[in-house]
Structure 1
Amino acid sequence: MTTGDDAEALSPQPAESTGLPTQLLDIFKSLAANGQITFKSQQIDDPEIQSEEKQEIAQEVFCKNRENFLIRFGRYMTAPQLNDFQSLGIGEPFKPDESLDEMCLLLDDFQRKLTTRSVCVKNRRYHAMQDLIQKGEYFSEHEMMQRAPDLYQELVGQYMTEEEKKARDTYDVKNTTFSGILMHTLEQKQREELLEGKDSQSLQIKEKVEEVEDEVPVNCRSQWGGFDDDEPVACSTSTVKHLPKISTPEYYNPAERELLRNEFMSLMQERFLSGEDSDFDYTSVDDNAMFDDLKQIEQDEEDAYFDDDEDLDDHVEMDDLKQIEQDEEDAYFDDDEDLDDHVEMDSKQNAADTSSSEDELDVYMRHLQQHPSLQPT
């Protein structure tokens, strides 16, 4: 039977009372915001789980078993989150059913898959971009101008003549619907109002700066390079007239304008590849295997296979060299031991021969001493 204290201990605690690092709490919050994760089984008519409850579920799973937490949520975590988990989430003490080695293997596997996924996504977006450029609509001047009006005006629009702007804004009325015409007119009006607002804001800032300059007394103004002595300083009470900004097309040759237009195109392509086009459905590209370059994938797999084969050959070759060196070393010591044995045998033989020789001499001397002629009379 579960008591009230036990039920309270099993229930998820608020984030403030857990003492967990902020990075881990941010991981729980990020997981709660992921719509692909199923936190608990629900019936069709059940109300949607709130974000706070999802965070509590993720935190509860973490506190019960960190290895199970990785198995359940690891594939939804980013590379920085996996690094934070490795440095902050798997320290001692470990529970009986937690394995440090298994958690490290899981983290390495998720990191490797993220790297592979990142390369795959970049390649898919690149091929999707080439397809969109070929079709011409998404990366047309009109569409890019709608997505980034400020950037377009800075690099392209302000250097166009009135005739070029009129030709750009001309709409094909014959081949479109009435709603399309209204949408085009509305977009053009919004773009003009946005650019006018930018110009008005810049003009107000400029006028405010000039007013501040006029309010400063002449004798209080300092000049760069001036000194604090009493020598007279030439100054003027009139405001400085700024040169007008050169923004008319005749000041720029066609090559310079084309260079700026290409720069705008490159920046828009970089925005697409980095995922900054908020109105584009990137999941239709990132999760679409149709944009994979099968030939390149086969080539990469083939290169990886031969790289592994070369590594194996190098490893075998190193093992063979080590074995040869070991065999030569063993043979050297075997020869040395045989030589020592041979020397030892020769020494023993010489000692035996010497001993035998000495024994015969002793026998001869004894016989000689016992000869009758040598005996005293």
Structure 2
Amino acid sequence: LFFEMFLIFGTLFLFSFSLCESSQNNWKLTQAAHQIRNYKQEQLLQLCALSDHERFRNYLKSILIPRPVGSQNHKKVQAFITQSLEALGYRVESTTFTQQTVIGQKTFTNIVGTLDPLIPRRLILACHYDSKDFRPNFEFFGATDSAVPCAMLLDIAASLRNVIYNRKSKDLTLQLIFFDGEESFREWSDTDSLYGSRYMVKELEKRPYPQYYSPRSRDLDRIDLFVLLDLIGAKGSTFYYHHPYSVLNAYTVLPETERQLKAYQNCIYDLPTIFHDLMINTFIQDDHLPFLEKGVRTLHLIATPFPSEWHTVKDNEEILHFPTIHNILSILRVFTANCPVENKCDLAERLDNLFKRIANIPEAFLRDQQRGEVDFTFEQRLNIVRSTYEQRPVKFLSKYSIYIDKGEVDLFEPNSDQTMEYHIERIKNSGTNEAAFRIKNRRFSKLKELISEGTYFSDREMRQRDPWLYYHMIGRHLTENESKALFHSQNSQYKFSDLLLDFHDNKMVNDERVKMENSYRKEPKKFFSYETKKTETTISDEEKERLRKEFVSIMHESFLEGRDKEFDYSEVDENSKYDDYVRINQDAEDKYFEDSDD
């Protein structure tokens, strides 16, 4: 591809990361529950009143020192974080390990503070407390990277301790993680970086929890959401939803909370927007990555673009903008406290939704009918599904597992039946479960229909959906005559006003691209690299055709993966008329879809 970052504009819906009441034995039922919620004014004002500038600065003062791994300052910061958490009533686990690095053996210590270790589910806030070692060139303080995030975690813990203890929902607790060894010792690579987070994921993955529940449950599974803070504190910091590497419904709480807090006098400072309703497709290597790779829900809160002082001697207290820090901290405090509206998770309702979804798929009942028999009605199919679940749950899984999503395996109580365990494992652990595969199959059928029809994948329509990509791969290589011929041939009714709007869209996206590229030019560590060409060169007709085919292929892939924002995928994904059973049974096409998901 010609680029590694693009912007997707659209409306984001406000979802909140909700807490549902449940019994200890059914803690997993509540883990994936997300409810739409409006915050109450009195709750927001109470949380605003918890801000304490002096408290935050006191935490920051003891962390904002050069603290490379193995140094005395590094040990001082370790001790300070541990003592601070213990003073707040957190159960602290410090895990020390030695690992071979590019400069020899190094000893690292991860620090984990848990408010209530007996509670099964975790909302994790995380940061790294080590600073990069630039000695002997200069002493690096790492104010944004990541002294401020560490101080923020401690301040949130101090301000919300009573709020979290006193809420009625008792199956989720706050856990704070301070990673060691995030920074590379030489050049950033997969092996020289993220020492602490990579080690922790391996440990959590090996540790079963709880012993009596199921061998499938591990400590890693207890994480509802993993939120990583990094590069925070400089003036003008902005944050975006890092599609597709973050949890959308968790991120959207932040810009909505910022808007709400701005409406109340003396709650936060009147600053430009910090959390934007905007998705950017980026890949940033940071401590969330080892967790993301294991399927943990992650939310990466990193200033984008990076501060210009990143990894320079200037990343010290002088660049910190405390009004910006105050606003971010206030928003994160609301996010963490969650202002919970008590809500019982309704197992019966979730089951009923599953039954109805299966009953809406006539082909799921072909084996229940005799040849020549009248098709079952919806009510008959619904009764078959419900009675099968109630009387023979193993048979239910055997028959209908293809229609069950990963997030629904918790509806089935584990038992000693190996067949049931097999189907649960198959749904839970498959890289692409069969329900997702069926959706892809339906989209592929629709894709063929759209290609045959012609309009949806015409140059004009594709250019409107992704003007920047079109310009990069096709538009900038067209001569004036080619452009005129193309648009006259494709749409004789193409109005001058449409042309002006398209020009405006192209300019807006291109201006944003240039702005972002200029911001990232100094950030080789955490971003994929990409070329920025200052001059355009003439290319051959063969190269133009190759680029056109590549562009069309990308647009086809975008459709299959559900990225076309204006397309109503529900009309395809939930419509059995698009099932191609020959295609479903072809192993070669199975592999095609598996590869497309990698």
Query: How would you bin the TM-score normalised by the shorter chain?
Result: 0.3 to 0.5
Q: What TM-score does the superposition give when structure 1 sets the normalisation length? A: 0.42
Q: What TM-score does the superposition give when structure 2 sets the normalisation length? A: 0.28
Give the strand-richer structure, 1 or 2. Answer: 2
Larger radius of gyration: 1
Give the helix-richer structure, 1 or 2. Answer: 1
